[in-house]
Amino acid sequence: IRREAVSVEANIVEGYALDTKGLFRRHLRIAFASAAEVESLSALASELDYLSPQAAEQIVDAAGHAMRLIIGLLRSLH
């Protein structure tokens, strides 16, 4: 979960630094996929009792918020 969460930010930064719309969009899509993995893994971790339901819900909410922001960025680049 931590690795995927870091991947979200790292891909946004890397894509922006590449300074082309196409590469930025590509990295935003990768960041979106990483955020989706955070959501999925958090729910699974809760089901397996590795995370409390409250902690998992907070992580899922944060990942969902990040995904909505990434979608907004992608739409602004078209």
Inform me whether the pLDDT recorded for 47 exceeds 90.
yes
Q: Helix (H, G, I), strand (E, B), or coil: what is residue 77?
A: coil
Structural domain of 68: 2-76
Mean pLDDT value across residues 6-17: 98
Mean pLDDT value across residues 41-63: 97
Predicted pLDDT at 78? 83
Write the CATH number for 54. 1.20.1440.60
Inform me whether the pLDDT recorded for 66 exceeds 90.
yes
**Rounded distance between C-alpha atoms, residue 12 and residue 19, angstroms:** 12
Q: Helix (H, G, I), strand (E, B), or coil: what is residue 52?
A: coil
Inform me whether the pLDDT recorded for 35 exceeds 90.
yes
Inform me whether the pLDDT recorded for 28 exceeds 90.
yes
Inform me whether the pLDDT recorded for 10 exceeds 90.
yes
21: nearest Cα among 77, 69, 72, 76: 77
Q: Report the number of distinct structural domains present in the chain.
A: 1
φ, ψ of residue 21 to 5 degrees: the values are -60, -40
